[in-house]
Amino acid sequence: MHAEHDATAPSAPEITFDDFLKVDIRVGTIVSAEPFPKARKPAYVLTIDFGPAIGVKRSSAQITEHYSPEALVGRQVAAVVNFPPRQIGPMMSEVLTLGFPDAAGKVVLVTPSERVPDGGRLF
């Protein structure tokens, strides 16, 4: 587990509110989730609809411990949508799907507690 994923790690350096606003975190609905056998670690390829302004984007997510592809479809998730695309094996990951580590370091997705419009920005 990386130090930044460790629950005992100290907090990150202080930033300004303007720094926070540079990170564009949006909510979207997973429209498909497929196994990603060519990934180095077990992962799924997620296709996520972020609404009309952002559109449909793809993400590689190492979330196989807690989620099945069938259970992911229709679920809303939070993701960073303004990182440059990143090559992950044969696919281009366009957004970073967000989660927290459980006690064993496995990813638990960040989701809104109630349904919200796709594309809404975290504030």
**Contact residues for 56 (Cβ-Cβ < 8 A; gap 6+):** 31, 47, 48, 49, 50
Cβ atoms < 10 Å from Cβ of 57: 20
**Contact residues for 18 (Cβ-Cβ < 8 A; gap 6+):** none
Closest CA to 36 of 86, 91, 85: 91
Spatial distance between the Cα atoms of 75 and 87, rounded to a whole number of angstroms: 25
Which pLDDT tens digits describe the chain residue by residue (123 residues)? 455 567 788 899 999 999 999 999 999 999 999 999 988 889 999 999 999 999 999 999 999 999 999 999 999 999 999 999 999 989 999 999 999 999 999 999 999 999 999 999 999
The rounded percent of the chain whose pLDDT value lies above 70 is 96
Sign of CA dihedral 19, 63, 42, 11: positive
DSSP helix/strand/coil, 24: coil
Domains of the chain: 3-109 (2.40.50.140)
DSSP helix/strand/coil, 81: coil
Cβ atoms < 10 Å from Cβ of 26: 22
Provide the pLDDT for residue 118. 98
Q: What is the pTM of this model?
A: 0.91
